[in-house]
């Protein structure tokens, strides 16, 4: 447990905005755990968060900090108050290639609805837009695949860096011990 905790980056956040497919949401949570992202922010203001598929998510939601927000404004405001730079994924010409973004500082990526993408409100509130460039006939990746691709780059950039949240480490470790010992 301590080894996993030592590799978590509490200043990296993945925001899910109205993603409706349970398998996509579950796969994103699994990727968050795999790449050391311990915080998820949920913005579900036009639908209900889908039920997590335990098999797809490998039950990792138990080990993630999951915060819920009623609006894009509430979410982005909370993240920015912690000094976190917010990047909305978007299919626009002015979106920055995710490989050119510096994720060494506190960062959040917003993943929008599978069909509509990030809301206009979220894009307007974000500090910038990012894109995973395509070279084939498709315009975009599946949202859970795009999430994993961007998180892999975040993890690559941070591979040899010290997690920025060591002050919270004891608190988080105790909460994990409590979760492990509680009945499922």
Instruction: Using alpha carbons, select from 39, 9, 40, 48 the residue that is nearest to residue 153.
Output: 9
**What is the layout of strands, in order, in the sheet containing 107-111?**
65-69, 37-43, 9-17, 107-111, 85-89, 128-131, 96-97
Query: pLDDT value at position 57?
Result: 44
Query: pLDDT value at position 29?
Result: 92
Domain spans, the chain: 2-181
Phi, psi dihedrals of residue 11, rounded to the nearest 5°: -100, 15
Considering the segment(s) 2-181 as one domain, its CATH architecture is 3-Layer(aba) Sandwich (3.40)
Query: pLDDT value at position 62?
Result: 72
pTM, full prediction: 0.85
Q: Are 139 and 91 in contact (CB under 8 A)?
A: yes
Per-residue pLDDT of the chain (184 residues; tens, 9 = 90+): 667 666 677 789 999 999 988 889 989 999 998 998 988 999 988 877 666 655 544 456 777 888 999 999 999 999 999 999 999 999 988 999 999 999 999 999 999 998 889 999 999 999 999 999 999 999 899 999 999 999 999 999 988 776 555 556 666 666 666 666 665 5
């Amino acid at each position: 447990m301590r080894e996993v905790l030592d590799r978590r980056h509490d200043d990296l956040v993945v925001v899910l905005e109205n993603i409706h497919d349970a398998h996509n949401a579950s796969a994103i949570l699994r990727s968050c755990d795999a790449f050391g992202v311990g915080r998820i922010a949920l913005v579900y203001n036009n639908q209900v968060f889908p039920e997590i598929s335990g098999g797809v998510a490998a039950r990792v939601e138990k080990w993630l900090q999951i915060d819920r927000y009623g609006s894009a404004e509430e979410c982005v405001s909370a993240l920015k108050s912690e000094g976190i730079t917010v990047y909305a994924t978007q299919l626009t010409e002015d979106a920055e290639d995710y490989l050119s973004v510096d994720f060494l500082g506190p960062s959040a990526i917003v993943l929008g609805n599978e069909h509509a993408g990030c809301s206009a409100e979220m894009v307007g509130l974000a500090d910038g837009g990012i894109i995973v460039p395509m070279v084939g006939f498709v315009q975009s990746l599946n949202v859970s695949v795009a999430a994993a691709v961007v998180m892999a780059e975040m993890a690559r950039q941070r591979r040899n860096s010290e997690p920025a949240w060591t002050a919270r480490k004891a608190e988080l470790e105790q909460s994990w011990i409590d979760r492990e010992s509680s009945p499922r």
